[in-house]
Amino acid sequence: MAGILGINGIISGLNTDEIIKAIMDKERLPLNSLESKKATLKGRSDAWRELNSRIYKLKDAAYNLQSFTTFRAQKVTVSDDKVLTATASAEALLSSYQLNVKSLAKAHSVSTGLINDATSISGGKIQITINGESKEIEINPEGSSNREKLNSIVKQINAAGAGVTASVINLSENEFKLYLTGKDTGVANRLALEDVGTDRVLKDLGILDETDTIAHQAQAATDAVIEINGDTTNPATRSGNTITDLIPGVALTLKEAGTVTLGVELDKAKIVDSVKGFVDAYNSVMDYINQNKTFSYNETTKTGTAGKLFGDSSLMYIESQIKSTLYQKMEGVDSTVGLLSLVGIKGASGIEGAKSGKLEFDEELFKTKLDTDFNEIAKLFGASSEVSEGIFTKLHNDLFEWTSSDGVLKTKSNTIQREISDLDERLRAMEDRLALREKYHYARFMAMEKALAKIQSQSSWLTAQLGTLSANWKGK
């Protein structure tokens, strides 16, 4: 509002704006205190939101370690991926197989005879039957040349949705072949073709001979044939090269004939990666808690700096519960692996490591224990039906509760937000009062200037009157 009234020093010569600013600065002190409190609350709210995000990631990491899926994850090894590739699900049985791919499944393909300018191409109906499904197609060759007519026939057949793909190959100048190839592989999907009624479309093209037999077979329809573990008497046959029902839980993709050894084994690398992910998530939480719970004092400046959540009992409770869960000994688990530290998940070494509360992961020790005590580690983690609750089961349940809509983290954030909202209301009311006070002060200074102006005017009038009297007196 400063300067708006334009009374700055008009009569009095006072710097009104500066005087009122000094007055308002003093009257704003309570408001400044509230704004400082709001900034502190916002910092705490932001800290709780960030901690919630990190704990949520820790919850997911803990879930992975107590999941049956993690401990049942399978991986497949194939001795020659040029012959076939494979993937496994949790249902796959741990075993080894020798697979001899004798042949791949192939789609049936037939062709016309050699077509040139002398070939007669007629129109009419044809019928294509695949695996018991028949489709009649009206053929209407269009164009002046045989190449144009063949192109139009290809378009008409492909648009009919009969389960075949038509194509034209240019063998040499003005010499062509038209191919019909089944979209699906396997003997069951071989093509059966015929001209309808007296029409001669397929016969004129040379696909059928006069006895309605296919005249030019480019590729026979075949099934994939696989001998398993050297059994040549009862090979497996499938109509396709992607096979999901030969080995339980294993999907095969055949690529060429040949022999391979296929092994299904536990994917222990997935468990190791899950532990790494957990340790990283845990250390991220501990880092953030350490940043926000500490108080430091500067001897030089004699001032202290507190973390945003310094002294918060909820923060100390969360930290304490997480640590106590991870460091507990599990009952019902072999004593050699009954603690996380015994399998390579242990507190950080050194004085600073211990103060940080962070974890270290001895990967080699964990792999060794996993090889010798796989089932016991699964029980320790909670990924076994033999125990009701493992370490990571309990931790996940706690973290799930804390990060839920009515958990401690959400409650803390909501409480702080309500405090901020209350402060905002008080700040708005105080700003309105201060604006009125500023107007009041300007009004008082204006009144003073007006009074001084009146006095000055009266003084000038008296001076003028006295001057007139003096002049008249001298004239006598």
Q: What pLDDT, in 10s, does the model give residues 420-464?
A: 777 778 878 777 787 887 787 777 777 776 776 677 677 777 777
Better pLDDT: 109 or 68:
109
Q: What pLDDT sits at residue 188?
A: 96
Q: Which of 170-174, 223-227, 425-429 has the highest mean pLDDT?
A: 223-227
Q: Is the pLDDT of residue 350 over 60?
A: yes
Q: Give pLDDT, residue 6.
A: 47
Distance, CA of 228 to CA of 145 (rounded, Å): 54
Number of separate helices (H) and strands (E) present in the chain = 12, 19
Residue 371 CA to residue 330 CA, distance in Å, equals 20
Distance of alpha carbon 424 from the chain centroid: 36
pLDDT for 202 beyond 60: yes
Residues 52-62: what's their mean pLDDT?
A: 94
- State yes or no: pLDDT of 13 exceeds 70: no
pLDDT digits (tens, 9 = 90+) for 285-328: 999 999 888 877 676 776 767 778 888 888 999 999 999 999 99
CA distance 197 to 202: 12
Helix axes 29-65 and 268-293, enclosed angle (nearest 10)? 160
Model pLDDT for residues 33-56, shown as the tens digit of each residue: 777 777 777 888 888 889 999 999
Residue 367 clears pLDDT 60, i.e. is over it = yes
Q: Inform me whether the pLDDT recorded for 4 exceeds 50.
A: no
Supply the pLDDT for residue 10: 58
Residues in the chain: 476
DSSP 222: B
**Residue where the block lists tokens 């005087």:** 19
- Looking at per-residue pLDDT, the higher value among 460 and 13 belongs to 460
What integer pLDDT is reported at residue 2 of this predicted model?
A: 45
Residues 397, 398, 399, 404: is their CA dihedral positive or negative? positive
- 67 neighbors 145 (Cβ within 8 angstroms): no
CA–CA dist 473, 476 (Å, integer): 6
CA distance readout (Å), 387 to 41, 260, 329, 371: 44, 40, 14, 20
80-94 b/e with 16+ CB inside 10 Å = b?
eeebbebebeeebee
* The token pair that represents 346 in the structure block: 């242990």
Q: Which DSSP state fits 208? A: B
User: What is the 8-class DSSP label of residue 358?
Assistant: -
**pLDDT of res. 238:** 97
475 token code pair:
């004239």
What phi, psi does 390 have (nearest 5°)?
-105, -175
Over the chain, what is the mean pLDDT? 88
Cα–Cα distance measured from residue 118 to residue 204, given in angstroms and rounded to the nearest whole number:
11
User: Exposed, middle or buried, 221 (CB in 10 Å: 0-12/13-18/19+)?
Assistant: buried
Residue bearing tokens 């950080």: 348
Query: What pLDDT band is residue 138 in, cutting at 50, 70 and 90?
Result: very high
What band does 5 get if pLDDT is binned at 50, 70 and 90? very low
User: What pLDDT was estimated at residue 474?
Assistant: 65
110 and 218 Cβ atoms separated by less than 8 Å: yes
What is the arithmetic mean of pLDDT over 134-158? 95
Chain centre to alpha carbon of residue 145: 57
CATH number of 109-219: 2.60.40
At residue 209, what is the residue type? D
Place of tokens 């990060």: 403
Q: Residue 361: pLDDT above 80?
A: yes
Residue 474 makes CB contacts below 8 A (sequence gap 6+) with none
- Count how many Cα atoms sit within 13 Å of the Cα of residue 35 in the half-sphere of its side chain: 9
Of the pLDDT bands very low, low, confident and very high (cuts 50, 70, 90), residue 11 is low
Per the CB < 8 A criterion, the answer to whether 191 and 89 are in contact is: no
Please name every residue paired with 226 in a beta bridge, in sequence order, or none if there are none. Answer: 101, 236
Query: Tokens 């400063």, residue?
Result: 2
Would you state the pLDDT for residue 476? 57
